[in-house]
Structure 1
Amino acid sequence: MFCCLFVFTAGLAPRAMAADGIPNRGALFRIEQQAGEVRNVTWLFGTIHVGAKHFYPLEPRITAALDQASVLALEVDPLGSQEDIARAVREYGMYQNGRGPAAAELPASYRPRLDRLLRQYDVPPPSVAPMKPWMLASLLTVREFERQGYQTELAVEVWLSKGARARKQKIVELESVHSQMSLFGRMSTADQALFLQETIDAIDGSEQAGDARAIASAWASADQAALDGIADKTATDDTFSGRFVSRVLLDERNPLLADGIVKLLAREKLSVAAIGVLHLVGKNSVPELLRRKGLRVERVY
């Protein structure tokens, strides 16, 4: 849930429509492996980690694939073990032994700005006192998206997980919440403070809202050119948080996600894998890594 949290804004771009008028969303790839007479297929779908009611149901090609697949693979199942999620939050996102709050790590000029944002989002300061700076930055991002009317509870992965459970379909995780949060936990305290500072700057300067609108529009309309442009911008963002997203949250994870999809493809005749859409675009994307492994990769939209 912590890789790329995007807010949705409907109607910002022309939408590519499926045959029955339901818009295409995100990106969809068909991955095929042929071994003798055996042909296995994985449908690879690009998601975003927040949502709104009017984004569902998804278009017929992906919903048909979901109905027919034996397995749904997600980065992490948001409806999986809540105990595991809570344990990872405590281990990587919370101060131990009474240290904190995160505001103490910030330059003095940022502390009133943080206080103002907490008041704006109606967040009591004592409730965030145990949070490390990166976790507090994530909370501020989520609250800003909620202020604009979008919710993590309606994220694509949540919708997919609920559907799989209704179909009694097997769900596998390509990663774990511990592995995801541990990436943030690797940051030094100083780097985490810088991550929080840049989050405050982005919210105050409306840059975050602009970037969110851009990716929301691209995802909502399955705009390939716009998604590729966002990938290029992400790769050249020279802020600390920009480099962290590009080098750690994308480039470092993409080979592991690709390996997981290769294993899934080897054992399942028909499966669906759904991961964050920014993993599917740009240089060294998951589809590109799969092509290099000799698999047939077709972009549907």
Structure 2
Amino acid sequence: MRRPIIVVFFSLFLMACQALGAERGALFKVTANGNVLHLYGTIHAGRADYYPLEPRIREAVAAAPTLALEVDATRDPSANAAAFRQYGMYPAGSPGRASLPAARRLRIEAGLKQQGMDPVAVARLKPWMVATMLAVNDAVRLGYDPALGVDHHLAQLARSDKPGKGGKGSKTRIAELESMGYQLALLNRLPEEAQWQLLEETLDTMASGRQLRETRELFAAWERADQKALDAIALRIERDDTLGGKFMREVLLEERNGPMADKVASLLARENNAVVAVGLLHLVGKRGVPELLRQRGMKVERVY
């Protein structure tokens, strides 16, 4: 009888842990002028067992007048599709990959096939877009689903009814710190030759196994709210002098972190109990949003 009892108690323990939710990502409490804001680091893909999120996040969103995300991807699908066409695709009739010298083109196409991607199917996509798709494919290989991303889940929580005054349901307002068009324009900023170099570099790091390993490390750090691992990732990004590494550090992170910090500060000045949720990498390192807020004179406490 002992073994079945142990199995039952272990199952109940797992169910209780799932109901409570685990600490994941990074959570900061920012205070200024009597107002409090929660700053949460998300990841843009996930698994069903990520949810429910831990109670402090769920309660913060439920109490928040505003949830600010990088973008609300479901707000205007037609505008998002137009932005992808504008920044992520070659115009009809453009040679695209066919303009490359034959040996280089064949090498890229072989690399795409090695990663399970049909070169014909992505022929009209710009190189940065293909590189991004390859990164998403690595996350999918590890069992993570972009449809289960934490940002999307938080938006769903914000849109759900919650108790309001007089017993009427109310919803948390969702604000965007950026726009899809702005993000895609940044990714498309690299000159075309640099984009091809980025794609070749991506294929090389995938073939070596490095990209899959680093993707796994990032998800593992988010899942455990592992500050030591996140600090190591921040240091790796700081020291990465590859084309892709510099572009991520200087454009996709540092260039965006300053305006993000400004918008967080503005929201905190206007409202109490707002929640801001952005990609985890924006919250790490010496030039991350929390450090920039400290430099602006705000009190920033790391919850986990």
Q: Same fold (TM over 0.5)?
A: yes
Give me the whole-angstrom Cα distance separating, in 2, the residues matched to 1:222 and 1:76.
23
Aligned CA distance change for structure 1 residues 220 and 103 (closer, same or farther; 3 Å): farther
Which has the larger Rg?
2
Aligned CA distance change for structure 1 residues 71 and 171 (closer, same or farther; 3 Å): same
Structure 1 residue 120: deviation in Å? 4.9
Which residue does the alignment assign to 1:26? Answer: 25
Length-normalised TM-score, structure 1: 0.87
Structure 1 gaps, min length 5: 1-17
Is the CA contact 2:38–2:60 (under 8 Å) kept in the aligned structure 1?
yes
Residue identity (%): 44
Residue 69 of structure 1 aligns with an amino acid whose one-letter code is: A
Cα-to-partner distance string for 1:5-30 (whole Å, 9 max, x where unaligned): xxxxxxxxxxxxx9985321010000
1:174 to 2:177 alignment: yes
Q: How does 1:54-69 map to 2 (within 5 A)?
A: 54-69=49-64
Residue 221 of structure 2 aligns with an amino acid whose one-letter code is: A
Residue 32 of structure 2 aligns with an amino acid whose one-letter code is: Q
Which residue does the alignment assign to 1:227? Answer: 230
Q: How does 1:1-301 map to 2 (within 5 A)?
A: 22-34=21-33, 39-102=34-97, 104-105=99-100, 108-109=103-104, 111-112=106-107, 114-115=109-110, 117-118=112-113, 120-121=115-116, 123-167=117-161, 168-301=171-304
Give me the whole-angstrom Cα distance separating, in 1, the residues matched to 2:98 and 2:302.
45
Give me the whole-angstrom Cα distance separating, in 2, the residues matched to 1:273 and 1:247.
22
Is the CA contact 1:31–1:44 (under 8 Å) kept in the aligned structure 2?
yes
Structure 1 residue 114: deviation in Å? 3.2
Residue 56 of structure 2 aligns with an amino acid whose one-letter code is: R
Structure 1 residue 263: deviation in Å? 1.3
Aligned CA distance change for structure 1 residues 19 and 52 (closer, same or farther; 3 Å): closer
- More helix by percentage: 2
Give me the whole-angstrom Cα distance separating, in 1, the residues matched to 2:22 and 2:40.
14
How many residue pairs get matched? 280
Length-normalised TM-score, structure 2: 0.86
Aligned CA distance change for structure 1 residues 99 and 151 (closer, same or farther; 3 Å): same
Cα-to-partner distance string for 1:81-112 (whole Å, 9 max, x where unaligned): 11121111111111124213336447725634
Is the CA contact 1:73–1:272 (under 8 Å) kept in the aligned structure 2?
yes
Deviates more, 1:126-135 or 1:217-226: 126-135
Give me the whole-angstrom Cα distance separating, in 2, the residues matched to 1:291 and 1:156.
26
Is the CA contact 2:89–2:124 (under 8 Å) kept in the aligned structure 1?
yes
Residue 149 of structure 1 aligns with an amino acid whose one-letter code is: G
Structure 1 residue 80: deviation in Å? 1.4
3-state SS, counterpart of residue 272 of structure 1: strand
Aligned CA distance change for structure 1 residues 111 and 49 (closer, same or farther; 3 Å): farther
3-state SS, counterpart of residue 44 of structure 1: strand
Structure 1 residue 161: deviation in Å? 1.1
Give me the whole-angstrom Cα distance separating, in 2, the residues matched to 1:125 and 1:296.
50
Aligned CA distance change for structure 1 residues 19 and 82 (closer, same or farther; 3 Å): closer
Aligned CA distance change for structure 1 residues 201 and 68 (closer, same or farther; 3 Å): same
Residue 101 of structure 1 aligns with an amino acid whose one-letter code is: G
Give me the whole-angstrom Cα distance separating, in 2, the residues matched to 1:135 and 1:219.
25
Say what the alpha-carbon RMSD is for the aligned residues: 2.1
Give me the whole-angstrom Cα distance separating, in 2, the residues matched to 1:260 and 1:106.
45
